[in-house]
Amino acid sequence: MAVVASVALLAACQSLPAKKATTRAPSATAPAASASKVTTPETTLHATGHGALVAVYLADTQMQPGWAVIKLQSGTLYVDPQPVITRDDLSDIRAGASKEGVGLLALGLNEAGQAKVLHVTTQNPDKRLALVVGHTMLSAPSYTVPVASDQLVFPVGTEQNATAAARAIAGEPGNGTPSGASGAGGNSSSGPVTPPNGK
């Protein structure tokens, strides 16, 4: 399912050194970012200030003024250049898998993060929350109701991808970049990705 393509992510935003990365195309049927249960043994880590850049952005499949345009095999994704969630909003990170074997990455939110997500998802119904770790967009699941949870759960392909992303965010040894996840969020493509303003 992997397709190679160039992706220019959020060009109007702060530039970071560009790297080759895998960008996940969101699926219209991806599970919403919510309090889904991780069903296999999970790895719980705490976010430090030394890990990979992590941010969650508001995204949509419909054009939005001022939002970055990302071309994907499955269509176009528009991403708000201002992150909703950054490292400062995280309390912990958990990696695991669903009963179906889909890798899940859960970002535990502190009170400020919970308030931001609830506000943004209330003000912007029926959109997506796009997860960027390092220079990789891992997932962009949709939501249909305001998200009022203490965690955001993102499908990231495999449990190995979830663990690699959690370790990268936490700054743990062996924090390799998640490989091209497939099956959880749509088709993958690769190219230079420059996430904006995330921490």
The model carries a pTM of: 0.69
The C-alpha atoms of residue 94 and residue 15 are separated, in whole angstroms, by: 28
73 lies in some domain? no
Give pLDDT < 70 ranges for the chain. 1-49, 174-199
pLDDT at 6 (0 to 100)? 24
182 lies in some domain? no
150 lies in some domain? yes
pLDDT at 75 (0 to 100)? 86
191 lies in some domain? no
pLDDT at 17 (0 to 100)? 29
pLDDT at 70 (0 to 100)? 87
Q: List alpha helices for the chain, DSSP H.
A: 111-123, 159-170
Which of 161, 150, 81, 80 lies closest to 113, judged by CA?
A: 150
Structure tokens at 43: 């790895």
pLDDT at 188 (0 to 100)? 34
- Our count of domains for the chain comes to 1
pLDDT at 135 (0 to 100)? 86
154 lies in some domain? yes
pLDDT at 42 (0 to 100)? 53
| pLDDT (tens digit per residue) in 126-168 | 999 999 999 888 999 999 999 999 999 999 999 999 999 999 9
pLDDT at 133 (0 to 100)? 95
The C-alpha atoms of residue 75 and residue 160 are separated, in whole angstroms, by: 27
pLDDT at 35 (0 to 100)? 38
pLDDT at 108 (0 to 100)? 98
2 lies in some domain? no
CA angle in degrees (0–180, nearest 5) for 178-180-82:
70
Q: Which residues contact 194 (CB under 8 A, 6 or more apart)?
A: 8, 9, 10, 11, 13, 15, 16, 18, 135
DSSP state of 89: G
5 lies in some domain? no
186 lies in some domain? no
Structure tokens at 111: 């009170």
In CATH, what number is assigned to the domain containing residue 164? 3.30.1360.200
- Residue 104 is part of which domain span? 22-59+82-174
